[in-house]
Amino acid sequence: MATEFETSVRDWVAQNLPAPLAGARIDMYGVVSGDPAVKDAFDLWRRRLAAQGWGAPTWPVEYGGAGLTDAQAKVVSRAIAKAGSMNPIPYLSGMGVTMVGPTLLEYGTPEQKTRHLPGMASGEVRWCLGLSEPNAGSDLASLTTSAELDDEGWVLNGQKTWTSGADKSQWCGVLVRTDRSAAKRDGISFLMLEMKQPGIVTRPISLIAGESPFCETFFTNARARKDDLLGKLNDGWSVVKRLLQHERQSQTTAPATTNKVEPLQDIAKRYLGSNADGTLADADLRSRLADHLMDTAAHELTIARIMTDARGGNLEVTATASILKNSATDSTQGRSELLLEIMGNQGVGWETGEYTEEEVRTAREWLGGKAMSIYGGSYEVQKNIIAKNILGLPETTQKG
């Protein structure tokens, strides 16, 4: 029996979801394609969700959220999905709602929260992150992009790479070196700066999947205000560790490209048929599919553990966060591999015609999903972290 809150959410969604959005697709930037009327409806839906505070439903009301509990936020998400749509705001905000915003809530000043959080929660302001560099990927502490303080603010110089959505973002959270004489992790700070300025140039990076959010970003005397420092000076490593915990929590599935995800077992039956008792006809695939579904369920339970840690105000990067990145990669890539196998020749199409839109999307998402093993900390580096910090195995990576 539905609770009063569940009923109110379901009724609100039914009354406010524009009809043209049923089944409408969005890309990785939260942009809807096709009929202009659908685009207009999509923006109306965004504005209505923002007015409810449902763009970031667990954030405080004064910062654009709705002050909901995690359980209530799940009710909202389920109601929207059941109605055949999705919440576009986390996509439209780039790294805002999922990463920068939660970190800002913990480390930001009241003025910084008031200035930045409402724009993220409404989906009106997109954020990117300048972390990795050509010579500072998994070893992020080797970064050389610098920031120096003068009378007017911070002056940034250097280069970042793999900055997702940098060409479409209004703001960027950047990890910079502010003390060259300090130890690698001790002389780093986290700055927030506007992207639209002469000192910043972005260059998109093409990928084999046909579309890419990644960019190279160059800073040449780029400017940030003095009060755009997040956290303490030269303590950016603490800030980015917490931010990366939020990133790993957000990397639970591949980016959504459809409003409803058909269960993998149903797709398998549609392509391969089923027995008289309703079970999948291919017994070997049925067994491997069951293994995948169990692994995915275990991954979702791991997410729940991280949410419990965060709810308790734990600012440390926990063991569960280290595990989550790799379990998300295994789950997402495993699903893509099974889906490609299920579709057979129909799963390797590149353009519609002989292939459906779903089949073309499957091939592209399979290719794009390979990047999960690298971004946000490579699969191998995460295994080293798990081995040393969780299992207590001896350090071997720094020995010849």
Residue 394 DSSP code: P
d(CA 353, CA 97): 38
Distance CA 7, CA 54 (A): 16
User: Alpha-carbon distance 94 to 171, whole Å?
Assistant: 10
Known catalytic residue: 211? no
Question: Strand 171-177 relative to strand 127-130: parallel, antiparallel, unpaired?
Answer: parallel
Measured CA to CA, the distance from residue 41 to residue 268 in angstroms comes to: 34
First to last CA, the chain: 63
What is the C-alpha to C-alpha distance for residues 116 and 347, in angstroms, rounded to an integer? 42
Which tokens sit at 370?
Answer: 């390979």
Pairing of strands 171-177, 229-230: unpaired
Catalytically annotated residue among 216, 247, 359, 365: 247
The two beta strands, 200-204 and 215-224, are antiparallel
| 23 φ, ψ (degrees, to nearest 5) | 80, 0
Residues 161, 167, 172, 173: what is their CA dihedral angle, to the nearest 10 degrees? -30
Helices and strands of the chain, counted as H and E runs = 12, 8
Tally the residues of the chain.
400
Catalytic residue list:
247
